[in-house]
Amino acid sequence: MSQAVVLEPAEVWAYLVSRELLPADARGAVREVGDGNMNRVFLAIPDDTAIPSLAVKQAPPWIQRLGPSAPMSPERALIEARALRTFAEYAPRQTPRVLDVDPTRFAFTMEDLSDLTVLRTALNDGASLGRTSAEVGELVGRVTFATSVAGATPQARAALIADSVNPLLAEVTLQYLLGDPFVAAEHNHHHPALGAAVESLRRDPAVRTELAALRAAFGAKTQALVHGDLHSGSVMVGVRDGEPVVRVIDPEFAMVGPIGLDLGLYIANVVIAALRSYATGATARGAAHLATVADCWDAFCAAWRDGWPGRVDPLLDDGWLLRELRDTWRDTLGYAAVELVRRVAGYSHASDLETLPDPGPASAVVLSLGHKLLVDREICGSRPDPRALARLVSTSWEAQQ
């Protein structure tokens, strides 16, 4: 891979003009933004405020934070751009607008989102979720219905599956979400008060079997196009023209996989945000966060029910739909559970907890919920019941006090 594909800030303006995304005579500034673990993101801001500013996301052939010593296929930018195109097709309201995709430089240009805030940051600062969870549930519901056996023909699904195989990023998920947190791995860390609980989780054979089932489903359940990394760092929120806006970003982990993965990651992070609120004494806000778990699930189900009368396979019946939604809830709880465990016992912790004066009590509840949900997914009942999950979280917090 030649280094020539890498875009440098000094080149970005001319690059956008050459792609006909900016007028040749426009003037303005470029700055590099983003916490850039993997990729580079540049903003181009025209002096003329009538010209919309643009964001360019570019994947160097390595992990940006680590540099050329950590090679990583730049194809991920094209996977992300392709996923954004599909998301925009079915969930345009929640998807950033992509204006241009450049396969030769593994870059794409999209609307500038720098007026919005990362959801996790907003929640840490005390924001409420409002309709955010419902918007996320609707996006997941609309995209997964449209790309499932109910919404897409075998031909369309075959093309989607072939285009979306994403083994490099799948390995990242298998390691950091579905692997390391459950064993003694190099970069794991946890709060000192959690030692015994982490040990007990890692020794529990039931945890191992459930984890294995989730790993296998991740690798072999090609239900629908999923975002693959849908935590509260992949959602941006804000207000435009007086209206709340929600954008789901960064689908570079996108793949055809289990639907419960996206819902589980998102819901786990709502639970974590709620526990942060409880830990700071903001009990009402915590309860309000938890109430949105049902908003998310209900919007997801509503999107499936909306699509259902137009399903491409008339031999899928209502009984199957009920069963599929129930199975998805079960998977949701499973992937939520591993996300809860990862955020307190793995490598990548949640700032929601880490920035608390004492992350101990909330982290202990997060870990214990993860353990419980993993080994007994019927702890919230045998049918999808997001309100029961919310109650389990709040009673677990109270019991801890």
Nearer of residues 158 and 284 to a second copy, judged by Cβ: 158
Rounded Cα distance, 224 and 255, in Å:
8
Rounded Cα distance, 306 and 238, in Å:
27
* Contact set for a second copy, span 319-358 (CB under 8 A): 319-320, 323-324
**Rounded to 5 degrees, what angle do the CA atoms 8, 14, 18 make?**
120
Rounded Cα distance, 62 and 75, in Å:
11
> Residue 281, interface with a second copy (CB under 8 A)?
no
The distance of closest approach from Cβ of residue 37 to a second copy in the complex, given in angstroms and rounded to an integer, is 20
> Of these, 5, 161, 245, 287, which contacts a second copy (CB under 8 A)?
161
Which residue is listed with tokens 């559970």? 337
The distance of closest approach from Cβ of residue 324 to a second copy in the complex, given in angstroms and rounded to an integer, is 7
**Rounded to 5 degrees, what angle do the CA atoms 180, 186, 192 make?**
90
Q: How many residues bind a second copy (CB under 8 A)?
A: 45
Nearer of residues 17 and 170 to a second copy, judged by Cβ: 170
> Residue 183, interface with a second copy (CB under 8 A)?
yes
Is 188 buried (19+), middle (13-18) or exposed (0-12) by CB count in 10 A? middle
Nearer of residues 10 and 162 to a second copy, judged by Cβ: 162
The distance of closest approach from Cβ of residue 119 to a second copy in the complex, given in angstroms and rounded to an integer, is 29
> Residue 260, interface with a second copy (CB under 8 A)?
no
Which residue is listed with tokens 């990023």? 169
> Residue 154, interface with a second copy (CB under 8 A)?
yes
> Of these, 17, 21, 45, 316, which contacts a second copy (CB under 8 A)?
316
* Cross-strand bridge partners of residue 46: 28
The distance of closest approach from Cβ of residue 143 to a second copy in the complex, given in angstroms and rounded to an integer, is 15
Nearer of residues 15 and 304 to a second copy, judged by Cβ: 304
Cβ(160)–Cβ(147) below 8 Å: yes
Rounded Cα distance, 133 and 146, in Å:
20
> Residue 1, interface with a second copy (CB under 8 A)?
no
Cβ(369)–Cβ(392) below 8 Å: yes
Q: Phi/psi at 87 (nearest 5 deg)? A: -60, -45
> Residue 171, interface with a second copy (CB under 8 A)?
yes
Tokens of residue 379, six digits: 């702890």
Q: With CB under 8 A as the contact rule, which of the stretches 61-69, 75-83, 153-161, 375-383 interacts with a second copy?
A: 153-161
Tokens of residue 217, six digits: 């489903």
Which residue is listed with tokens 């924001």? 127
Nearer of residues 202 and 387 to a second copy, judged by Cβ: 202
Secondary structure letter of residue 256 according to DSSP: E
Enclosing H/E stretch for 45: strand 40-46
* Contact set for a second copy, span 187-246 (CB under 8 A): 205-206, 208-209, 211-213, 215-216, 219-224
Alpha carbon 224 to its chain centroid, in Å, reads: 15
The distance of closest approach from Cβ of residue 261 to a second copy in the complex, given in angstroms and rounded to an integer, is 14
The distance of closest approach from Cβ of residue 321 to a second copy in the complex, given in angstroms and rounded to an integer, is 8
Rounded Cα distance, 208 and 205, in Å:
5
The distance of closest approach from Cβ of residue 57 to a second copy in the complex, given in angstroms and rounded to an integer, is 23
The distance of closest approach from Cβ of residue 134 to a second copy in the complex, given in angstroms and rounded to an integer, is 26
* Contact set for a second copy, span 47-76 (CB under 8 A): none
The distance of closest approach from Cβ of residue 347 to a second copy in the complex, given in angstroms and rounded to an integer, is 16
- Residue 151 CA neighbour count, 13 Å, CB half: 19
Tokens of residue 340, six digits: 């809860």
> Of these, 127, 149, 245, 282, which contacts a second copy (CB under 8 A)?
149
Nearer of residues 148 and 232 to a second copy, judged by Cβ: 148
Applying CB under 8 A, the residues found at the interface with a second copy are 148-150, 153-155, 157-159, 161-162, 165-168, 170-171, 174, 178-179, 182-183, 205-206, 208-209, 211-213, 215-216, 219-224, 313, 315-317, 319-320, 323-324
